[in-house]
Amino acid sequence: MNLDLAGEAALVVGGARGLGLAIAKAFADEGCRVSVWDVAPDVAASVAGFGASSWQVDVTDANAVRTAAAETWARFGAVRHLVFAVGIGSGKFGFPFWQLDPADWDRVLRVNLVGAAVVAHAFAPRLAEQRAGTVLFLASVAGQIGSQTDPPYSASKAGLINFAQCAAKDLAPFGVRVNTLCPGMIKTPLNRSVWQAWHDRQPPEAQVDYETWATEKIGKLVPLNRWQTPEDMAAMAMFLASNRAANVTGQTINVDGGYVMHW
């Protein structure tokens, strides 16, 4: 797919693996100059295969984010596309929600929501000054349907969708577009951790393996009756970064096989 992105600079935060890595690779395939931030110590090794620059950054550390932002901007001269692909869960099965402890909420909200705001604060003034650019936040269908599986995760992604709409309104006068991408059912470590948390709460006779659990869930919830893939997310991310989406901002885009339908 040639979307006329060649030569532009893209930063993927949370790009060492999973959906973020697929998006970073897609930017590289489009001919972009790519930088990847991740808290993982092996971030440099993860992106070495497609020539991306890398920084080890914790998005909950505002000072580290500001420093990395200045270094990234200096390296590329400008950043045209910013993707926030960071996401963690509580690691527990949250139904009913009072089975969780209030302490289970703090880190999920700090990483998924406050972390996104910290990164946005570091880049928004520069994007506004250059009067061009795109921002994409990866949320989740769980942020739209009040998923009982992991309430802290769901609430953090709902907050992220709302923040993206605020940011889209603030940046629109400067020609900067902001959108949210919501994946559906994807085989990621986070998805598997949801199964594990559920599995560990079941009596032995009710336990099933991951593939059985996921297949049954997809059959019940996904009208297209198939997994979504990281490449599906990357394809939509490239479209939203391109001028073909020049009139698309403040939107919540579901790539979910029909899981979430509003009517």
CATH of the domain at 205: 3.40.50.720
pLDDT in tens, 7-34: 999 999 999 999 999 999 999 999 999 9
Domain annotation covers residue 263: no
Structural domain count of the chain: 1
- Domain carrying residue 251: 9-255
pLDDT in tens, 144-184: 988 778 899 999 999 999 999 999 999 999 999 999 999 99
Domain annotation covers residue 202: yes
* Contact of 84 with 137, CB cutoff 8 Å: yes
pLDDT in tens, 42-85: 999 999 999 999 999 999 999 999 999 999 999 999 999 999 99
Domain annotation covers residue 17: yes
User: What was the pLDDT predicted at 97?
Assistant: 84
Domain annotation covers residue 140: yes
Domain annotation covers residue 164: yes
pTM exceeding 0.75: yes
Domain annotation covers residue 262: no
Domain annotation covers residue 171: yes
Beta-carbon neighbour count of residue 130 at 10 Å?
14
- 37, 55, 137, 153: which is the annotated catalytic residue? 153
259 catalytically annotated: no
